[in-house]
Every structure is written in structure tokens, then in C-alpha cells.
Amino acid sequence: MAKKKGKKGGGAAAPEADNVEEVERKAMIKSAAGCANQTKKEDAAFNEFQQQKEKVSYFWIIEKKRLEDKKAELRNKDRELQDLEEKHQVIIKIYKQRVKHLLFEHQLSQDSNRSLESELKIDKRNLNLDSKEMELSHGDYLKSLKQQQDRNITLLRQEFERKSSELHKNYDKKMKTVREKLEMRRKNETSAIEERKNKHIKQLMKDHEQEFSEIKNYYNDITHNNLDLIKSLKDEVAEMKKKEQADEQKMNEIYNENRRMSEPLKKAQKDVEHLNVVLTKYKKEKEDLKRTKARLVVVENQYQSLKWQHQVLQQRYTSVDSERKDLHDKFISTIYEAQQKSGFRNLILEKKLTGMNQIAEQQNAAVNEVLSRANLEPGTLGQMKGRITDVMEVKNQQSRDLQAELERITSAYQQLVSSASSKMSEFGIPQSELGFEPLSAEAMVL
């Protein structure tokens, strides 16, 4: 029983094993077909990659040759720049040598000016000694003139005082005589007028008494005829008033005559006052004359001093003017030469800088085009770009250095022109006499 059951169980397991093997075989066939397809694809990709590698190698060889050519051109440009730099250094040395020569000439001119200044100081000292001697002699001469003038003034003062005292005495004597005559005449006329007046008053009183007695008698005679008597009395009173007015007129005439006689006395007093005013004015004019003479002496001294200073300044002006003309000619020639050299040098540097910028731009564009066509690996491409960038940075730095040198030369030229203009303005020289038209910074850069 046991054996039968074993046989039946083994027979059932055999078909299951066959089925598993069949499945595995089919899977392996399928996997082999996939591997064959994958192998074909990899062969095609390998062939494509090989073709691309050959193309890249070909382009790499071409672009490497171009890069070497460009490097050779850059080396040539570097050598040209070095040659230009050497020429530039030679020009700078020549310019420095000329500046040294100019400084040496300036030192020589300063030495000659110092010697000339010392000679002028000696001449000035001698002139001061001569002027002091002349001042002393002139002072002695002025003292003698002043003493002579004082003696003359003393004599004139004494003469004037003598004449003035004589005039005073004569005028006092005449004044006294005129005053006595006028006083005597006035007394006589006054006594005569008083006498005539007293006589006239007595006569009037006598006439009034007589008339009054007649009127009294007349009133006694014609008492009854009052109207006629009053009328006649009124007429007489009117006549008496007329007489009184005539007497007053005579008194006024006498008073006017008395005043007319006192006019010569007043006139004589006015003449005396006028003569006193004239005397005071004469004294004042004499003092003014004395002060004017003193001022004249001072002004003459000042005039002589100013005349001597004018001659010295005229000589100094002549020498300074000749030196100014010489310096002006040297300055114009130096400025003109520096301007020509600076302009020529700036033009050469500007052309070289422009050419180098254009070449650098062309090289940069060519390198970028080569790198874009080469399809290199990113690491190799980055290294090449870094090297090319370093080379371009060096060239750009050289270009910037040249640009800075150009700006420095332009600034130095502008400072030279500005200092020259300020010195010419300081010495009063118009810029039209410079001999050329200074270039502006824009014109020099262009």
C-alpha cells in the first residue's frame, strides 16, 4: 500500500517540473532576445559615438591650430606692446633729460639772478649812502636858506610893524584932529541952533502974548458979535498951527543937519575898523605864506625822493621786462614742443588702444565661436574658458593701463596749460600772445 501511494505521488510531481522548466526556458529566450536587441542598440550608439568622437577630434585639431595661431598673434602683439613700451620709456627718458636740462638752466638763471641781486643790493647800498650824503648837504643848504628866510622875515616883520605903528599913529592923530574939529563944529552949530531956537521961542512967545492981548481986546470989543469973532479966531488959530508946523519943519532940518555933520565921524571910525581888518588879514596871510613855504620845502624833498625812486623803478622795470620777454619766448617754445609731443603721443596711444580693443573683441568672438563648435566636455571647456579669460584679462589690464597713461598725460598737459595761463594772467600777458591755441581734453582724446 505504501509503495502504490509513492508511485502515484512521484508521477504527479514530474509534470509540474516540466512546466517550470518550460516557463524558465521561455523567459530565458525572451531575455536573450532583449539582450540581443540591447546589444544592437549599444552597437549603433557606439558607432554613433565613435563618429561624433572622430568629428570632435577633427574640430579639436582645427580649433587647437587656430588657438595656437591666435596665441602666436597675441605673442606678436605682446612683443609689439613691449616694443612700444620700450619706445615710450625712451621718450620719457628723453623728456626727463630735457626737464633736467631745463631745471639746470633754471638753476643757472637763478644763480645769475642771485648774483645780479647781490650787485643790485650793493648798488642800492651805495645809492643809499649817496642819497644820505645828498640829504645831509641838502639839509645844510636848507638850514642856511631857512636862516636867511628867517632873517628876511624878521626884517619884513620889523618893517611892517614900524609902518603899522606909523600908520596907527597917523590915523590916531588924524582921527583925533577930525574928532576935535567935528566936535567943535557940532558944539558951535548946536549953540547957534539953540540960540536961534531960543530967539525964535522968545519971538513966538512975544507974538503969542501980543496976539493974545489983541484977541483979548478984540473979545472985549466985539462981545456981542461972537460968531464973527469965533470965525476970525479960528482963522488965526489955523495960521498959528501953520506957523507951528513951519517951526517944527525948521527943527527937523536942524536935526538932519546935525546928523549929517556926525556922518564923517562914523565914516572915520569905519575906516579905522577897516584898517584893523586889513591888518588882521595881512597877519593871517603872512602866517599862510610861512606855512606854504614850509610845505613847499617838504614837497620839494618828497619830489626829489620820488624822482629818484622813479628812476630806480624805471631801471628795474626795464630789466624785468627784458627778463619777462626772454622767459615768455622760452615758455612759448617749451609749451609748443610739449604740446606737439603730447598730441603725437596721445594720437599713437589712442590708435594702438583702439586697435587692441578691436583685436581683443575679434579674438574673444572667435574663441567663443570655436568653443561653441567644439562641443567639448564641460570641465575641459571651463578650463579653456578660464585660460582664455585670464589672457583677455591681462590684455584688458594692459589696455586699461594704456588708457590710464593717456588720461595722466592729458591731465598733465591740461595742468601745464592751466599753470601757463595763470602765470600769463599774473604777468599781464594776453593768451593771444601764446603763439598757439591750447587743445582741450576732448580734442586730445579724439
| pLDDT single digits (tens) 125-145 | 877 787 677 778 767 777 777
Task: State the Cα–Cα distance between residues 21 and 23, nearest whole angstrom.
Answer: 5
Task: State the Cα–Cα distance between residues 95 and 88, nearest whole angstrom.
Answer: 10
Q: Which of 27-31, 171-175, 430-434 has the lowest mean pLDDT?
A: 430-434
**Cα-based angle 204, 205, 207 (whole degrees, multiple of 5):** 60
Three-state helix/strand/coil letters over 113-153 = HHHHHHHHHHHHHHHHHHHHHHHHHHHHHHHHHHHHHHHHH
The string of pLDDT tens digits covering residues 407-419 is 777 777 777 777 7
Confidence of residue 391 (pLDDT cuts 50, 70, 90): low
Residue 327 CB: number of other CB atoms within 10 A?
13
Q: Is residue 164 packed enough to be buried (19+ CB in 10 Å), middle (13-18) or exposed (0-12)?
A: middle
* Max mean pLDDT range (21-30, 247-256, 351-360, 405-414): 21-30
Please tell me what DSSP assigns to residue 98: H
Q: What pLDDT, on a 0 to 100 scale, did the predictor assign at position 1?
A: 41
- Run of H or E residues at 224: none
Residue 136 CB: number of other CB atoms within 10 A?
10
Q: Is residue 257 pLDDT above 70, yes or no?
A: no
The string of pLDDT tens digits covering residues 182-196 is 778 778 877 777 787
Between 216 and 322, where is the model more confident? Answer: 322
Q: What pLDDT, on a 0 to 100 scale, did the predictor assign at position 373?
A: 60
Task: State the Cα–Cα distance between residues 122 and 116, nearest whole angstrom.
Answer: 10
With a pLDDT cut of 90, the percent of the chain lying above it is 0
Q: Is residue 17 pLDDT above 50, yes or no?
A: yes
Q: For the CA atoms of the chain, what is the radius of gyration? A: 71
Q: What pLDDT, on a 0 to 100 scale, did the predictor assign at position 428?
A: 65
Q: Is 438 helix (H, G, I), strand (E, B) or coil?
A: coil
Residue for grid cell 483979548: 216
Q: What pLDDT, on a 0 to 100 scale, did the predictor assign at position 6?
A: 45
Mean pLDDT of the chain: 73
Q: Which of 240-254, 335-349, 397-411 has the lowest mean pLDDT?
A: 335-349
With a pLDDT cut of 70, the percent of the chain lying above it is 66
Q: What pLDDT, on a 0 to 100 scale, did the predictor assign at position 346?
A: 65
What CA–CA distances, in Å, run from 215 to 204, 211, 238?
16, 6, 14
Q: Is residue 220 pLDDT above 80, yes or no?
A: no
Q: Is residue 261 pLDDT above 80, yes or no?
A: no
Q: What pLDDT, on a 0 to 100 scale, did the predictor assign at position 298?
A: 79
Task: State the Cα–Cα distance between residues 439 and 342, nearest whole angstrom.
Answer: 11
Q: Which of 81-85, 97-101, 347-351, 364-368 has the lowest mean pLDDT?
A: 364-368
Between 441 and 395, where is the model more confident? Answer: 395
Q: Is residue 304 pLDDT above 50, yes or no?
A: yes
Task: State the Cα–Cα distance between residues 342 and 399, nearest whole angstrom.
Answer: 19
Residue 413 CB: number of other CB atoms within 10 A?
22
The string of pLDDT tens digits covering residues 161-179 is 787 778 778 877 877 887 7
The string of pLDDT tens digits covering residues 35-79 is 888 888 888 888 888 888 888 888 888 888 888 888 888 889 888
Q: What pLDDT, on a 0 to 100 scale, did the predictor assign at position 210?
A: 76
Whether 91 and 405 have beta carbons less than 8 Å apart is answered as no
Angle between helices 226-374 and 2-221 (to 10 degrees): 160
CA-nearest of 368, 363, 371, 369 to 396 is 363
Between 269 and 384, where is the model more confident? Answer: 269
Span 245-253, mean pLDDT? 72
Task: State the Cα–Cα distance between residues 17 and 19, nearest whole angstrom.
Answer: 5
Task: State the Cα–Cα distance between residues 215 and 230, nearest whole angstrom.
Answer: 10
The string of pLDDT tens digits covering residues 282-302 is 778 778 777 877 777 777 777
